Structures are given as structure tokens and as C-alpha cells.
Amino acid sequence: MANMHEIAKRAGVSLGTVSNVLNNSAKVREPKRTRVLEAVQEAGYQPSQLARGLRRDTTNMIGMIIPDITNPFFPSVVRGAEDVAFSNGYRLILCNTDNDHSKEIVHLNELRTYLPTGLIVIPSNFSDLTAQAESYRRAGTGVVCIDRLPKHWSGDSVTADNKTGAYNATRHLIQLGHTQLATITGPLHLTNAKERLEGFKRAMKEAKLSLAPEYAQETSFDKQGGYSKTQVLLRLIPRPTAIFAGNDMIALGVLLAVRESGLRCPEDISIIGFDDLDLGETTNPSLSSVSQSGYQLGTTAARLLLDRRQGDDGPAKHIVLETLLKLRHSVAPPSQALQASAPTVKRGTKRKRT
């Protein structure tokens, strides 16, 4: 592949002149300037990002570390980051951690040696990343955590307003007349899961509704978790009439379990999820959800990184994105019968026969 030497030779100029033309680092007079540009065209020359990075002590790469691209919420986050990155001349290195902290560490350590412009991290868990981040900062590389935060995180961050989102969703259920509410949360060592539970609890407290511990189940952020914990919830007496799920995947599991038990959504049980994934639109009934923009999460993080790169060295920024309660067909007021007397599983079974 052609290199600068060859361009210099073709254009009959020196190495430095070629570099100056390519980087506008110094004015080059017209006859030579075009000769260089022509030679570049002819040879199809592209500067080696490797050599350039080594020399400049930084590359046009942005590292992105996420738990699992297969989780439906993350692709739009990645896409958001990539769009901003690409349009500014940066490229994304994508790393999945599978929520495995050791894999996270491997990526964190290795990515540094590519001298990336910055790093966007969706932490796999609550493990402290301060030490790693510090080592990046020393190299002048920005690190921004998004979606959830690791322990003691004091650097830049972009998250959704989980607490308010959960609060609004719960309040809506309460205003509809529900008094027997339950929630299925994601792993509580993740800050987003924890905050959503807090929002839920706050709304309950404000409405002077009590929350027995068994009405708040913790599980993984997936369909399977939602499914099995719903089976637990449906056996409780009194049976909950509304379930706030920690995310849409959990909500999907809730829906399946409810359907399978012979109960109906929303007549017997209302469901609200979190994330507002596309797949929530096509379920039956369609899923109400707290909408947060993954795409915006990504773009905001990338932009933050580029700002830092431009020299913004102000104090750490903690950007919190608003959420929006998106109502579809999975919520309704509790039925009269259920309000009058404490419902039992029997009642649900009976309804099935109807």
C-alpha cells in the first residue's frame, strides 16, 4: 500500500510537504499543493491510522464497552454513539462484556493501548472502575459512564431519570385506582434498577400504600426473570392488580406468565415496563412503558467525549435524560370485583372458564 514516501516521490516534494498538505499544518504554495493532491488521488493513498496514532499519541477511535449487544435496548445506544462519532471522523470499537467484570477489565486494559479518543462504558456491575478511569484520564482520554454507574463514580455520566420515570409510572397506576401494586426489579446492584425501585417506593409511600417485601421481587433484566417472578407474585394473597416491571424484557415475561395463568391483561392485571422497546408495540396487548431514548443516551455520551477532546476540562458532568410515560393497552383501572374483595387465584381461574 502506498505510503507518504511514495506520494512525496511522485509529487517531487519532500515528506514534510506532503504531511503539511494533508493536515493543513502549514501553508503550501499552489503548484506543489495540487501536485501532492493529485498524487494522493492517483495512488489511492490513505494515511496509516496506526502510524498517525503512534505519532500523535491518540487515534480516531472511541471504545465502547457494553454488556451485550443482543439485549434489545443497547443497539440504539450504540447506534447513537456511532452516528455522532462517524460524522466527526471517529470510529467505534465495540466490546461486549456479558456482565462479566473480568472481561470488562481485559477490554479496559487493552483498549487503552490503542490510544482512543475516549471511552463510553455501560458498566457490567457495581464494581469500582475509578482506578481504570484514572489511568485513562492521565493519558488525556475521556471516560463516560452511561445508563448505570459503577461504585464511587465521579466522572462524566449520562443516565436516564430512572427514579422520576418509575415514580410517574407507579403514580399513574395508583391514580387509576390500583392499591395492590407489585414490582419486579432488575438486579439491585445495578444503579438503574435500584433507582427505579426507589421511584416506585416513593410513589407508594406518597399514596400511603404499604409494600410488603414479597411484593417487590428482584431478578435479572430479562424475559425469563419476569416470567418466573410473576408466577410468584400471582400466588400472593391478595393478588396484585398491577405490576411495574424494571424493564420491558421483564414486562414481556410478566405478560406471558399472566396470559398463561388464565388472567387477562389489562382487565385483571395492569403492566408497565421501562425502556419503551419497539417490541412493546406489537405484543397483545401492547405494552405501556416508561420511554427513555437509548439513541440519545449514545449521542449525548459521544458528544460529551468530543467536547472533552476539544479541551473542555470543566468538572465532571452528570447529564440526566428525561423519561416519558408511554401509555398503551396494558393498563386499565382495577375491575370492580377486585376492588371490592381481595382477589384470590381462584377468581382468576374462574375467569378463565368464562
Partner DNA sequence: TTGTACGCGTTATCAA
Partner DNA sequence: TTGATAACGCGTACAA
What span, in angstroms and rounded, lies between the C-alpha atoms of 220 and 246? 9
Q: What residue type is assigned to position 4 of the chain?
A: M
Binding of residue 146 to a copy of itself (CB under 8 A) = no
Task: Enter the C-alpha cell of residue 242.
Answer: 398491577
Q: What are phi and psi of 117, to 5 degrees?
A: -70, -30
Of 5, 137, 235, 352, the residue at the interface with DNA (CB under 7 A) is 5
Of 26, 279, 320, 324, the residue at the interface with a copy of itself (CB under 8 A) is 279
Binding of residue 13 to DNA (CB under 7 A) = yes
Q: Of the listed pieces 23-31, 158-166, 252-260, 287-295, which binds DNA according to CB under 7 A?
A: 23-31
CB 248, CB 289: distance < 8 Å: yes
**Buried b / exposed e along 109-138 (16+ C-beta atoms within 10 A):** eebbebbbbbbbbbbbbbeebeebbeebee
Please compute Rg for the chain using Cα positions. 26
Q: Mark 99-138 with x for binding to a copy of itself (rule: CB under 8 A) and - for no binding.
A: ----x-----xx-xxxx-------------------x--x
CB 316, CB 154: distance < 8 Å: yes
CA 226 to chain centre: 19
Alpha helices (H) along 116-247: 130-138, 162-175, 191-206, 223-234
Nearest to 114 by CA among 79, 67, 62, 48: 62
Binding of residue 93 to a copy of itself (CB under 8 A) = yes
Q: What residue type is assigned to position 125 of the chain?
A: N
Of 9, 23, 175, 281, the residue at the interface with DNA (CB under 7 A) is 23
Q: Which does 23 bind (CB under 5 to 8 A by kind): DNA, a copy of itself, none?
A: DNA
Contact set for DNA, span 32-91 (CB under 7 A): 32-33, 45, 47-48, 51-52, 54-57
Q: Which does 313 bind (CB under 5 to 8 A by kind): a copy of itself, DNA, none?
A: none
Of 92, 145, 160, 325, the residue at the interface with a copy of itself (CB under 8 A) is 92
Site residues (vs a copy of itself, CB under 8 A): 1, 44, 46-51, 53-54, 59, 61, 68-70, 72, 74-76, 78-79, 82-83, 86, 91-96, 103, 109-110, 112-115, 135, 138-139, 252, 255-256, 278-279, 282-284
Residues near DNA (CB under 7 A): 1, 3-5, 13-17, 19-20, 22-23, 25-29, 32-33, 45, 47-48, 51-52, 54-57
